[in-house]
Structures are given as C-alpha cells and as structure tokens.
Structure 1
Amino acid sequence: MRPMRLAEREPHIDSLVSDIQAAIESGDRTRQSQLVRRSADLLTKRWSRLPAADKPDYDLLLTGLLSQADEPARRAFAIRVSELRRAPPRTAGLLAQDGSIDVAGPVLTQSRSFDDGWFQTVATACGDLHRAAIARRTGLGAPLCDVLIRLGDAGVAAALLANPSAMVAPGNLPLLMRHAAVSEEVAVRLGARSDLPGSYRADLAKLALRRAETALAGDTDLEPDVAGALPARIAALLAMPVQDARRARFDASMADAADLLAAAAAPARLERWLELRRIEDVLAALAQGAELEIAPLVAAYDAEDVAALSVILRGLDYPWSTLKALLNARFRDAIPLDILVAAHRLMTDLGPGSARRLVRYGMALQGRTAYLASLPE
C-alpha cells in the first residue's frame, strides 16, 4: 500500500493514520482495537474529506485495521460508517457481513450508501439474523423483499411484515402463509394487510383458533367447558352490530386517542375517567391499546355478556379494579352479582396471552387483527 498523502490542516489525523499503518504492520491487535474505538469518528471524517484518488487506499487501510480489531471496536466503527452518505465500499462490505450481528446491524439497517442490489448480495451470502436486519430498512423494493422472503426464515418474514415501507408483493403470499403456520407473529401481521384475499383470511382464522385453543389448554384454572366455549363466545360478542348513531358518539374520541395517549393509559387514569363518566375516552383508549377499531369495543361494552370486555382488558393486563370500574359505569353502579362474579373469575383464571389470542381469533373472522404491539408472544 502506498503512503497516504498528508493533509496540512489535519496533522492529528495524519498521525493517527501513521499509527494505524504501524499497528497493522506490527500485527498488534490490541493496539488496532484501541485505535478504532478511540478514533472511529475521526477515521470516518477523514474518509469523507479525502480526494477521490486516495480513497481506495484508505478503504484498504481501514479493512486491514478492522479485520484484526475486536468486536466492540468493529461495532463502534460500524455505527459511524452507517451514518456516512457515501461509505467506503470495502469497509462497509466487511462490516455488513461481520459474523456478529451487533457489528453488522447498524450498516444493514441504516446505511444509505448502497442500493438494494448490494443488500441482495449480503442477504444471499449471510444468514437469517443479517436478513432480518435488512428487512427492517426503510424503503425496501419488491425484488429485495422477494429475496428475503425466499431465503429467510419466519423471523425475517415477520420483520418484513412489520415494516410499512417494505414492498411485499402479493406473489409472496403462499410462502408467507407457510411461515404463518409456524409463526404467530407472521400470521397476525399478515392478517393486518388490507390486500389479503379472503381465502387466506379463512386460513389465518383457523390458525388463530388453534393458537387460542392451545393457550387456553394451559390455563388450568378454567373449567374445560368454559374454555371450550370461549373462542366462539368472544368472537360472537365482538361481531355484534353497532348502530351508526351509537358509533358516531365514539368516533371523535377515537380520532383524538393517539394525541391524548402517547403511551398506554395507566389503570389509575382510566379509573379516574370512569369516575367522571368519560366512557367514550376510556373505550377509545382501550381500542388504541388493543389495536382494535372502536366498533368491537362498543359492542363488547354494550353486551349483557361482559366476557369480551373482560377478555380485552385481560389482554392488556389491566387489574381487576379497572374492569370493575368499567362495569360500574356500564351498569350504573348496580352490577348484577352473577355478572360480577363471572367477570372476576375470568380475569383471574385467564392468562393475558390467552386473552389476546381469543380477541385475535374473533377479529380474524372479521378480516382484522389485534394486539400487534404484544408480538412476539
């Protein structure tokens, strides 16, 4: 490698480059790692300022340095490289295919220096952890998505489906459905797609039922006959019609819920709203938390059978006090004893995961989904 040209206004960087060259020639790996960790910012700034003629040699110097550096040093450098508008290609390629995903991740998820074809090459050469990192990038084109789905496992598919900017083509649906059979996250995220054909939705509903039944089997405090009836019971309650005039009362609160609630509403907050009879705001908060439309919440609230309302709150892991306050509002402080006992028993005996799967099954029958934020379970 020919000596790098000196930059008169950057003697400290030139001294650093000389130290790097000496460390590489001596084979002192500890010294190389120290230099990278301490000087990642300076090294990447140097790259941006170099004349075009000097960049290939500097790129080779960096790859030589990084090939001997320890993992923390490589990660520190990868973070800086991922921020460059035009990263050194050899260095970026080395980091992107690093055996440690902690090193490769920043380049794979954040770098804007390379096109989709470059990332297809990495996806083909590396494993599923690297593919999943690529799947989280912003603005993935359809050809790259095709490669990731064809080569990747269910975790890669889930990452793609969670990425709203990924152009997943309808032609990939058969393979995604195969992933859905083994991955609940893929199934739920696939169900959130508006372009999913009805035949696929029917299959997703069957998968959702199977997962709900499996989860219920683990809730050993539930009576078997109660557990067996719950999927159909909850689905029917969530599907009850809500009149347009009734729904309109809640639409404004639902529209404001995102601004009103930057985070999940705390139990104390909901209970205070219930004291003030702010029912619309409470149901909007619950709908946002469960990632449901407002209609199923209103249907569950209006029903004489409060099982669906109990299950929705259980899926959000709210305490009994919050459900009781909501029932007090629903029944105007005169909750029938049998309803109170049944609701408490359901909240006590049903696991949060089972509750979420029951709601997901009911919504899958309607071509919708719920509780995406809880994934993976």
Structure 2
Amino acid sequence: MSNRFGVTRLTSALAGILAAGLILSGCAGGEGGRQTDSAGVSFGASIEEYQSAFKNIQPIKLRLQTDGPEGSLSNVGREQWAKAIVKWSGGKIGFEFGYSNSFAPASTEWAAALADGRIDVGYFLPYYTPDDFPALSALSNATFLDGNRPLSTLVSTGWVTETTFRRPEYVEEAEQRGIHILTLAPSANIPGIFCTKERTSLTDFQGVPISASGKGRFDELKSLGFTPQSIAFTELYEAIQRGVVSCGSTVPSALDTIGAVQLVPYAIADPQASLVGFPNYLAVGKAAWDSLPLVARQLMFDRLDVFLTEELKARSKRNADWLRRIKAAGGGIRPLGDDARQALLARNNDLLNDLAGQGADTKSFVAARDKWNAIVNEQLYPDVTSSLEEFFTAKAYETVDVQPFVDAFFKQVLLKNRPS
C-alpha cells in the first residue's frame, strides 16, 4: 500500500523496529526513507523564505484528526493551522483530515493511534491512560489550580505548557510512548459539572451517577457525594440518554462536540473551587515527526501562532454559544453551595498533598500558576473583571486581543523548543 509520503506505509511491527533504532527510517518521503534534510530557517522567516526553503522538498502528506465535522468551531484551530502550513510550504505539506475522529474514534485510543501511525497529528489526552502516562496524568490532576474565571484558559495554557517543557520527565514520558508534544491546546476554561436538573449542594449530589475521567476527578466527585462512572466524553451522549448518568463531569466544548448541550443545561462552575481540568496536547506521532525534514518541523512549530490564536477565539465563541443554549433550555451557570465548596476545597488540598507525596513538584506547579496568573490578569488584561457568565453573555471576550498573550507564550515557553 502506498503511503501518504509516496513510499510504502510502514507496518506497526516495522515501525517498532525503526523506533528501536535497528534500521534507518523515515516516512517523510524519498526513496526508502527520510528525505535528505534541508537547511532550516530563522524564527520570524517570511513566507517567501519558507517557500524557497521547501523548493527541493518532496511532497509530504500528514493525517490530521479532529473531533468535530469539517468547519466546526471545535476544529478551527487545527484547520487554520493546517491551512497556514500548506500555504507557507508552497503546497509541499498537505493534510488528510480525519473529521469527527474517523481515524481513531475512541478518545482512549488517541495516544496509541499517534504512536502507531493511524494519526500523524491530533490531540493527546494523557489522563485517559494514566498507567501509560503517570507523570503527565499527575500534572493533569493539578489543573484544579486554574480556577473558573474568564481568562483561566490563558493562565492554564501558560503554566501547564511551561511546566510540561521545563521538567524532562513529562516530555520524555510522551516521547518514550511514541508521541511528540507541540503545545497544550487551550482549555475550555469551564471544567464543570453539567446535570439534567439543578443541583448545587451535597444533599443534591448524594448518590447521583456522573461521568468522570482520571483519578483526580474521581476523588473530587466522590468527596461531593457523587457516584462517578468511568465514561469517555465520546460515549457520554448515549450514557445520558439511557440514564446511565444524570450528570457529566466534562467541559462545554466536549458537550457541544457530541451534541449533548441541551441534555444537561444545569452547569456548576464555582469561582473559588475548581475541578481538575482536562488538558489536551496538540501532538505529532514521534515516528512521523522524526522523519520530517527540519524546515517542515520548523514550519509546523512556527505556525502554532495561528493554532493558538484561532483556537482561543473559537473557544470563547463556543462557550458563549453554549451559555446561550443552556439558558434557552432553562439552565445556566451556578456556583457550588457553601457545603459543597468547602468539601471540594478540602479535597483539592488533599489532592495536592497526595501529588507531592507521589513525587510531583507541586510547589513548582503553584509557582508557575501564580506567574501566569500575574502575566494574564495583572499585566496583559487587568480590565477583565467580570464574572464567567457575564463575560460570555455580554460577549466581553470579543474585546480581548489574544495576540499579546500568544507573543508572551512564544517568548517565555515555546521558543526554547523550536526545532534546530
């Protein structure tokens, strides 16, 4: 079978041999292996400089998976990033899209699909397979530090990505499993509880079945009295419809992707006590990444500015649309009751101590969170003081220029990892 690079597609077994370094590899084109590497370009190179550098590069095609159908807001960041790469490479890099998770339907298999080549580029969710990614899952379990404020998605993107790249165990863990991380995908900044009827207190939550993923979420929900069920978001719609669960522990973007927004219009997102989030990384299969010529890797990295800018804008639009729809269905965003808030704060404190006991550098987590909280809320956007609901209802997000954040993020986090 001819592969996307014009050479025979590698079998999983052969890919494993290549990964072990037993024979020379490469699926980026050329006869029998990797293309002859090209000279790279400097960061900030013009489109003309990039296209000139691609002049002698053989065509490359990458399989990119998205979780929504073509053109949906859930795909905007990845679609616009891919479009920019095609343009800046002079058409030398192309993409085959696996819309609506058509390459690997279950979110629990995305990591394996990146490693074995079913997907070349896509999202990587380490918390779904914590046994394979214990360090990254521990980091995921600290994301309750983000809070539920209008610009929490910027804070979390900054501190989680910085932490991921600053400490070697995170990147090494992914690379050993065949995955190369590009960046954290901006979160939906509302990691909440979404129910079929209004619930806010410990009494309301007692014994209610709820979907959950990751140990941190399980422990938090148990502390509130829920009965967590291990259900991936791709399976949540059916679980709600069949009455397997009465609430979903997820994010608005996931509910939108699976068409379940109106099924659970009663949302809980507390400004003081947050749940563990669901950090998704934009990643490339390591075998595919290593086989690309330098200039291709540099272009995919440099145009992360497009991915981040478009993704952040789309996330805000999706949240605003989600809020409009749940209000139309009689719901809205509510804080936790006082008893539930205190229970969750206590559990989160225990969770942070547990992570520290397991060897996680939780002090650095808090320091990184505080650093990016200051950058975002004090330096870049001090005038954003509204509540989460006000921010999206009044479309205040439309006045927030995300470019200063993207510039700061590249300068302080990403540029240290640029291919060279």
Q: Name the TM-score class by shorter chain.
A: under 0.3
TM-score, normalised with respect to structure 2: 0.24
Whichever structure has more helix as a proportion of its residues is 1
TM-score, normalised with respect to structure 1: 0.26
Work out which structure has the larger RCO, using CA pairs closer than 8 Å and 6 or more positions apart in sequence.
2
Whichever structure has more strand as a proportion of its residues is 2
* Structure whose CA Rg is larger: 1
